[in-house]
Homo-oligomer: A and B are copies of this chain.
Amino acid sequence: MALSPKLKVIAFDADDTLWVNEPYFRKAEEDFANLLLDYLPAHSIQKELFSTEITNLSLYGYGVKGFMLSMIETALRISNQQLPPALIQEILRIGKEMLDRPVEIIDGVERVLADLQGKYRLVVATKGDLLDQERKLIKSGLLSFFHHTEIMSDKQPNDYAKLIRHLDILPDEFMMIGNSLKSDVIPVLELGGHAIHIPYHITWAHEAIEKEIAHPNFKHMLHISEILTLIC
């Protein structure tokens, strides 16, 4: 089976598709919970944090800065505003460390990009902070493979429709590759585009869905290197 001959643009999700991301959020959530064990057990703290993040999502969007603000808000709430201020300083430290860490590229990514480059226009299509994602792209050394980066405020069908118009192509000339069925696959198939799902071993609860997809424009892969078997 080969990629559609109509295909012009291949868009890659970034976090947990090109590089490791979610484990750092999980680690930060653990570190956060460990700061506040005087007030609640760890699993309850993480539940409270998730609830704060979802409430704030429409106001803050995706990314580390909103996550930092939601950690601070959660810490204030569960301590009934009684926590030592030094713990807030620790939360800032956890977040800044996330923003400043080296980028760990997922195994096989460079080989795949090198093979696809020249055959297709490659773009990064990601949610999250522009500055943070651009910094990661530069740190990763992958920048030169991509035509440009599309930072999307959300990944609803409407956001992809805008992206496809902006790329000046038709939906079936577009393929999205990512680790989230909800954000990278379903909305793209709905518009008539192509999608490949490559699950990552950890998924943020907000992105997790259980769904079997059978669609002629859809492929499921265990590893990004499988794409190479589709290139004629």
The answer to whether the Cβ of A109 comes within 8 Å of any Cβ in the partner chain is no
The answer to whether the Cβ of A205 comes within 8 Å of any Cβ in the partner chain is no
Per the bound structure, the CA–CA distance linking A43 and B130 in Å amounts to 32
CB-CB nearest in chain B for A154: B131
Please tell me how many copies of the chain the complex holds: 2
Q: Tell me the A107-145 residues at the B interface (CB within 8 Å).
A: 129-132, 134
A69-B89 contact in complex given A61-B129, A153-B134, C-beta closer than 8 Å = no
Per the bound structure, the CA–CA distance linking A84 and B83 in Å amounts to 9
1/0 per residue A66-81: CB within 8 Å of B? 1011001100100101
> Which residues of the partner chain B approach A1 to less than 8 Å between Cβ atoms?
none
The answer to whether the Cβ of A82 comes within 8 Å of any Cβ in the partner chain is yes
A57 → B minimal CB distance (Å): 9
Q: How many residues of A contact B (CB 8 A)?
A: 35
> Which residues of the partner chain B approach A148 to less than 8 Å between Cβ atoms?
162, 166
A109 → B minimal CB distance (Å): 22
30 contacts between A and B (CB under 8 A): A59-B96, A59-B99, A60-B65, A60-B99, A61-B132, A65-B66, A65-B69, A68-B69, A69-B69, A69-B92, A69-B95, A72-B72, A72-B92, A73-B92, A76-B85, A79-B85, A81-B84, A81-B85, A81-B89, A82-B85, A83-B85, A85-B85, A85-B88, A129-B129, A129-B130, A130-B151, A130-B153, A131-B153, A134-B153, A151-B151
